[in-house]
Amino acid sequence: MSEPAPLTDGELFEDLTPGPLDHAIVGREIRIYAETGSTNDLAMTYGGHGTVYVADRQHGGRGRLGRTWHSAPGLGLWFTVALERYADGLTFAAALAVRDALRDRAESKIKWPNDVYINGRKVCGILTERRDDRVAVGIGLNVHHAESDFPEELRQTATSLSRECPGPWRRGAVLAAVLTALDGYVAALYGDAFDRVRDEWAAACNVEGRTVNWEGSVGRAEEIDAAGALVIRFNGDSRKVVSGTVEFLD
Ligand code: BTN
């Protein structure tokens, strides 16, 4: 794939200058584009340990479980952190970093496994992809959307920062805050702090004792295990769930 043309004007560009952040790893280089297929593909193709690929619009934005991620221009932060070394827990770190970055202005919650919700609606999704040692930690965060900016089928379940919390929100400022928090978590994971990051993420998911619907079966969440799987009790049998769609009913 050829690298898209860089974005050189507009709100996102202005917001993101002066550019690279004085971080240990994440955000030491930031590349901003007007449009691309998926920033995860850019990260997988071009790599760079800690390089962040940001696009104002994605025409092939991907979500988990093969879903499409709606990535319209001007509305959100669609970005991917490329890493050249895998560590367990990177997806947990991304969810915690988004929560932390919003903390002063919004009470967000992590929904197992890695969505971020505000007031019961999804504001952010994370898609981590890996090939050998190359990792793409992709984050989609809805910022400026009004309800009508979402496709009809998402209007009851998706939201944006501007809808839930008083603005104004500046995408560059939010991105910088996420990258600062993520840099700390990533450095911790490379430094063997998986258990601490996992525990913090598991506590933030707040699953214990809640009634869940997993792929049509209703059970009670018992815990998140050491590897991050959700343990659900269905009629006397406990089952470890690592992916799929989980709906929390209480
Ligand atoms: C999900 O909740 O299903 C995950 C959504 C992840 C979306 C982000 S936007 C930036 C990066 N590029 C992609 O194509 N997907 C991720």
What is the atom index within ligand 1 of the atom nearest the CA of 125? 2
Cis peptide upstream of residue 20 (ω within 30 degrees of 0): no
Residue-level pLDDT, tens digit, the chain, 250 residues = 888 988 888 878 877 765 678 899 999 999 999 999 999 999 999 999 999 999 999 999 999 989 999 999 999 999 999 999 999 999 999 999 999 999 999 999 999 999 999 999 999 999 999 998 999 999 999 999 999 999 999 999 999 999 999 889 999 999 999 999 999 999 999 998 999 999 999 999 999 999 999 989 999 999 999 989 999 999 989 999 998 788 999 8
What pLDDT does residue 236 have? 84
Rounded CA gap, 31 and 28, in Å? 10
Instruction: Round the CA-based radius of gyration of the chain to a whole number and report it.
Output: 18
- Which of 127, 143, 245, when mutated, tests ligand 1's pocket best, judged by the most ligand atoms within 8 Å of its CB? 127
CB neighbour list of residue 89: distance below 8 Å, 6 or more residues apart: 189, 194, 197, 198, 201, 228
* Residue 239 φ/ψ region, left for φ over 0, alpha for ψ in the -120 to 50 degree band, beta for the rest: beta
Q: Tell which atom from ligand 1 comes closest to the C-alpha of 61.
A: 14
Number of neighbouring beta carbons within 10 Å of residue 129 = 16
If DSSP codes are grouped into helix, strand and coil, which group holds residue 102?
Answer: helix
Give me the residues paired with residue 129 across strands: 136
User: 3-class SS at 105?
Assistant: coil
- For the chain, what percentages of helix, strand and coil (3-state, to nearest 5) are there? 30, 30, 40
| Strand arrangement of the beta sheet that strand 217-224 belongs to | 237-241, 230-234, 217-224, 211-214, 246-248
**Nearest C-alpha to atom 15 of ligand 1 is from which residue?**
62
171-190 and 90-102 helices, crossing angle to 10°? 140
Instruction: From the CA of 139, give the closest atom in ligand 1.
Output: 8
